[in-house]
Amino acid sequence: MIFDIIKNRRSIFPAQYNSKPIDKSDIEKILEAANWAPSHKKTEPWRFKVIQGDKKAALGEFLSNTYIDITANPKQIKSKKLIENPKKAAVILAICMQRDPLESVPEWEEIAAVAMAVQNMWLCCTEMGIGSYWSSPGLIKYMDEFFTLNEGEKCLGFFYMGYSDEEPLEAERKPINDKVEWL
């Protein structure tokens, strides 16, 4: 039932992943789920770059080196984490947004559409037993130095995916009635 999948969706971090690979057909199914997100005026602004194999290590090196280059007092532990996390994931999807060249909708609506695409992927991963996590480090503004982005395209983060042997933690939410005003 979809409500149960929504309630059970959790961030599963790269440190929790095991070494089990994700089948290409499963990655394609996850991407297809993203493609069914709503978008105003059908701009379909979501774009994804599938990062796997040696490219994961290259991404980690790039993120770490960029962090060191732009940070006054870089922390070695953070630099190491930037290198290691991509290698721990079975697959990483760079989450990108292609801005409508006609700007027929406000940019925030296209960002929201991409976020809904990511939520579709996250729910699909949950249903398939694949751990996932959306990371949006400040370093994403430098991603045009790592891979080619089209004019008007920008990176909004990374969607890490991998299988985990750990059980997801139980989540808590404050009651919805605390967040709703009935008029």
- The predicted model gives 69-81 an average pLDDT of 94
Per-residue pLDDT tens for 111-149? Answer: 999 999 999 999 999 999 999 999 999 999 999 999 999
User: Mean pLDDT of all residues in the chain?
Assistant: 95
Virtual torsion, Cα 119, 150, 58, 21, nearest 10 deg: 40
In a domain, 11, yes or no: no
- The predicted model gives 69-87 an average pLDDT of 95
Task: Could you list the residues known to form a binding site for FMN, using ranges.
Answer: 9-11, 40, 134-136
pLDDT at residue 180, as a whole number = 97
User: By residue range, what is the domain housing residue 127?
Assistant: 48-162
In a domain, 8, yes or no: no
pLDDT at residue 58, as a whole number = 98
Query: Could you give the number of structural domains in the chain?
Result: 1
CATH of the domain at 125: 3.40.109.10
Res. 48: pLDDT tops 90: yes
CB 113 within 8 A of CB 39: yes
Res. 166: pLDDT tops 90: no
In a domain, 4, yes or no: no
In a domain, 108, yes or no: yes
In a domain, 37, yes or no: no
* Distance (Å, whole) CA 2 – CA 113: 20
Model confidence band, residue 1 (pLDDT cutoffs 50, 70, 90): confident
Tokens (6 digits) for 183 = 């008029």
pLDDT at residue 117, as a whole number = 98
DSSP code per residue over 136-169: --GGGGGGGGTS---TTEEEEEEEEEE-BSSPPP
Task: Could you list the residues known to form a binding site, using ranges.
Answer: 9-11, 40, 134-136
Entry pTM: 0.94
Which of 61, 63, 83 minimizes the C-alpha distance to 14?
83
In a domain, 180, yes or no: no
In a domain, 101, yes or no: yes
* Distance (Å, whole) CA 161 – CA 28: 13
CB 103 within 8 A of CB 91: no
Which of 32, 131, 147, 46 minimizes the C-alpha distance to 89?
131
In a domain, 34, yes or no: no
Per-residue pLDDT tens for 2-39? Answer: 999 899 999 999 999 999 999 999 999 999 999 999 99
